[in-house]
Amino acid sequence: MIRQSNSQSMDLFASVHERSKLNYDSMIDGVNTTVASVQAKLDQARWLPSTS
């Protein structure tokens, strides 16, 4: 088992925090990228032919 120092743990925490903040703040035309992606998938699904 590898043991991390407090400094390494804090660096990892800071990195994860920064990545999370960038993802949260990421926008396309003023819309969060996660929301935009889900909306695009929903819009695409509306136009797909029904398989039933």
Residue 24 confidence (pLDDT)? 85
Give pLDDT tens digits along the chain (52 positions).
567 688 899 999 999 999 999 888 999 889 999 999 999 999 999 987 776 6
Residue 2 confidence (pLDDT)? 63
Q: What secondary structure does DSSP assign to 3-35, as a single string?
A: ---HHHHHHHHHHHHHHHHHHHH-EETTEEHHH
Q: What is the spatial distance between Cα 42 and Cα 6, in angstroms, rounded to a whole number?
A: 44
Domain ranges, ordered by start, for the chain: 6-47
Q: Please, which residues bridge with residue 31 across strands?
A: 28
